Amino acid sequence: MSRYARQMILPDVGTEGQERLARAHVLVVGAGGLGCPVLLYLGAAGVGRITVMDGDMVEESNLHRQVLYTMGDLGRPKAAAARRQLLAANPSLQVTAQVAPLDAANAAGMVAAADLVVDAADSFAVSYVLSDACRQQGKVLISASALGQSGYAGGFCGGGPSLRAVFPDLPARAATCATAGVMGPSVGMIGALQAQLALKSLLNHQPSPRGQLFVFRLEDLQVSSFRFDEAEEPEGALPVVAASQITAADTVIELRDAAEAPGLPAPRARRIARADLLTAELPTKGRIVLCCRTGLRAWAAAAELKAAGYGNLALLAAGHSA
């Protein structure tokens, strides 16, 4: 146990706490800028079993912030490359690589197998899917988002308020690291905090990370936090579905034009621009599934349809950055 000696000296860790970490199974969704420090610190702390889930490949433009990878990892699946690096640093771990994106179809099973879930995907569609699954199963979710020099991290679900309770609405516009940029140390700080919150939750430290949100505005050198233990769950939350969950009874609407999305997300799907949606002939019965790349246009379109009297709506994010 010499590897963890300095950690076990802490009175609130000790031998019992270290054994608890060794028995724990953490699901980390996303092996990018947030996921890299999360995985490094959870592995170094001795979390015995880690499942890392990511469908993306390592690219050279990732390397300034995704410090788990090297030039030798270019073109490899992030999940597999992360597993190799974690085991090289700590061979006693059990690390499983899932080279696939998380969606509404596989989320419940992935969450059920874990003791705690870390959302490091930096995708609101994935975050909401994970939050819904964790809330239903009573699992703690440590979720974060980072862009530019700003972001947040907090503890959700597990008997406390969900992510939807704190963020019931989406932003009007989407930005990504590719379009807006990101500073490596900023996303690294937030990912490291996620690892700290995950460890404190596994060790049952008080105050609990569940119900606590940290907000980073590093462009102004500001960090703040607040508790949201009494936040109420929103009513009529728009569900996020996977393509495999679409049925023949659903009306699927692709909001993207043919240049942006040459293929349709489902058989018999209709391509309707958002501007034409309210004047289109839509069924008043059955579910309407709205599809775009990130889900933002679908979210806004669903709000307009809901105001127009349509009730059974769902969102499909057909492609999003992790």
Check whether 144 has a pLDDT greater than 90: yes
- pLDDT tens-digit readout, 150-178: 899 999 999 999 999 999 987 655 555 55
pLDDT > 70 fraction of the chain, expressed in percent and rounded: 95
Calculate helix-pair angle for 184-202, 35-45, nearest 10 degrees: 40
- pLDDT tens-digit readout, 251-289: 999 999 999 888 888 888 899 998 999 989 898 889 999
Whole-number Cα distances in Å, 137 to 44, 115, 159, 208, 256? 28, 10, 9, 18, 34
CA of residue 224 relative to chain centroid, distance: 22
Tell me the average pLDDT across 86-105: 96
Ranking 3-12, 188-197, 257-266 by mean pLDDT, the lowest is: 257-266
36 is catalytic: no
Please tell me the predicted confidence (pLDDT) of residue 172. Answer: 54
Query: CA 281, CA 125: separation in Å to the nearest integer?
Result: 27
Please tell me the predicted confidence (pLDDT) of residue 322. Answer: 28
Please tell me the predicted confidence (pLDDT) of residue 321. Answer: 30
Please tell me the predicted confidence (pLDDT) of residue 182. Answer: 77
Query: CA 64, CA 32: separation in Å to the nearest integer?
Result: 11
Please tell me the predicted confidence (pLDDT) of residue 176. Answer: 56
Tell me the average pLDDT across 14-34: 97
CA of residue 264 relative to chain centroid, distance: 25
Please tell me the predicted confidence (pLDDT) of residue 232. Answer: 95
Please tell me the predicted confidence (pLDDT) of residue 43. Answer: 97
Percentages (nearest 5) of helix, strand, coil residues in the chain:
35, 20, 40
Active-site residue (options: 134, 177, 291, 292): 177
Please tell me the predicted confidence (pLDDT) of residue 179. Answer: 59
Strand order in the sheet with 288-292: 270-271, 251-254, 288-292, 313-317
